[in-house]
Amino acid sequence: MHQPGWSQEAVSSVVANDGAGSTVGAATESEPAAETSVSVEALRYREQALAALDAERDDLAFELARKAKRLAPEDPQVVFLMALILADRQRFPEAIRMLDVLAEKNPSVKLPAMGQTADWMIKAGLWEEGEERYRLLLSLAPDASLVHRGLANLYLRQGERLLASQRLVDLARLGDIQELELRSLLIRCHSFSGDAMPETFDPVGQLGIARAKIAFGSWESAKETLLEEGVSGDRANALLGRCYATLGDWKALTQWAKDFESSELKHPDAFFAIGMHFEQSSDFLAAGESYVEAVLLDQTDVMAYGGLLRVAQQLQQNEVATEIQKRIDMISRSQEIGALMAGSPDRSYKTMTELIDLLGQLRRPLESIAWRGLRLGYGQTHGTITPSQADVILKQLISDREAHFDGGATVGDRDFILCGLDLDQSRQGNP
């Protein structure tokens, strides 16, 4: 996944506040001339260091930044630059401390400093600390795309795809979501194999690595990853249950279900696995209840919808079964298109329009609107849409997104999501 652009955001913020706290070039009439010349000299070193960074002359940039900091040790721009260079040299603890001190002294740069240090914490392998800082940032700046993107990126790498989807939905609401991120909303259990390539995705932790293996269809390998050093946490254990169910290891699934009874985790992986466990015991009502919970949490879960289909057939709700099959076909086709895009640079107007229409039928308006935005971008790039046409389309997109701003990634009542399945009716007929 792509990395948040905190460095650029942070530097821009500091530069924008130049004169509101910066000492470089900010001498007053009361300051001696010598101090002014020192500030000018520090500014010159800073500019030279930035030029050296652009030229990828890292050692020279480091030396120039050190000279600037000796002359102006409290200047926010100089401190920020020095911290960035230290981080480039993998000296993350020093860089983080430097910006933490800077943020305490200069509230105007607190948010970009926190965002940058959160990114560095994650790069240094301090996952929990990075997440905690990002979540604090989210409370301070709920509409900051970089915060949502940073958290989403972390969650995707950790295999926490349901948590990631919440942040990606917010990016769609804000109108600042990218194609790779949109594809992650098409399938929540795991990524597309084309999006799980080493150059674009770096999974971390037991759960993240297991989900990355599932992206390539390696369920057995994912199971081994989860069992290798003992399952770490309820979510990893829930995925283990899905692995057992998918692999048809009913003995292991039965034992897993007994062990999982005490867990209070509500997760589609767990509900799918429990549904499969009950289905193998021919307890179709109990299986249906679990599959219902799975699809209510994740409306892209084709496996759980498959379970609902079998339950509807067993309960002789034939019209419902027909609707569930249609739903499975639509979701599966949306994921086929997503997989195609993940593995190929080609983007045809026809295929994107099909995906947009499918998402509309699935009552996922924010995703549909976002894909319309991408289609507009491709049309402008390839010259198939004129500037005047683009203005009209863009205004309509903005209006449509604002109309759904208070909605979720999926907007559909329970009956729509469940395709009309009524377990209570079957339960009353089978006391």
Least Cα distance to 117 among 92, 147, 148 occurs for 92
Instruction: Specify the pLDDT at position 306.
Output: 98
Residue with tokens 């863009």: 394
199 domain-assigned: no
Residue with tokens 């001696």: 32
Distance CA 352, CA 385 (A): 15
Six token digits for residue 231: 């399952």
Mean pLDDT by 10 residues, the chain (431 residues): 52 46 38 54 89 89 92 89 92 95 90 93 92 94 94 95 96 93 96 86 92 96 93 93 98 96 93 98 97 97 98 96 98 97 90 96 95 92 87 89 61 86 77 47
134 domain-assigned: yes
Least Cα distance to 134 among 4, 287, 265, 277 occurs for 4
Instruction: Specify the pLDDT at position 362.
Output: 97
SS3 91: coil
Backbone φ and ψ for 202, nearest 5 degrees, come out as: -130, 85
Instruction: Specify the pLDDT at position 383.
Output: 82
Instruction: Specify the pLDDT at position 213.
Output: 96
Instruction: Specify the pLDDT at position 19.
Output: 39
Chain-centre distance for alpha carbon 313: 36
120 domain-assigned: yes
CATH of the domain at 78: 1.25.40.10
34 domain-assigned: yes
206 domain-assigned: no
Residue 364 region by backbone torsions, left for phi larger than 0, else alpha for psi between -120 and 50, else beta: beta
Six token digits for residue 269: 């992986």
267 domain-assigned: no
Contact by Cβ (8 Å): 70, 62: no
Q: At what angle do helices 234-247 and 268-280 cross, to 10 degrees?
A: 40
Residue 69: domain span = 6-141
On the CB side of 11, how many CA atoms lie within 13 Å of its CA?
Answer: 12
Burial of 375: CB neighbours in 10 Å, binned 0-12, 13-18, 19+: buried
53 domain-assigned: yes
Q: What Cα–Cα distance (Å) separates residue 363 from each residue in 188, 227, 239, 330, 403? A: 16, 38, 27, 12, 14
91 domain-assigned: yes
Distance CA 153, CA 164 (A): 7
Question: How many structural domains is the chain composed of?
Answer: 1
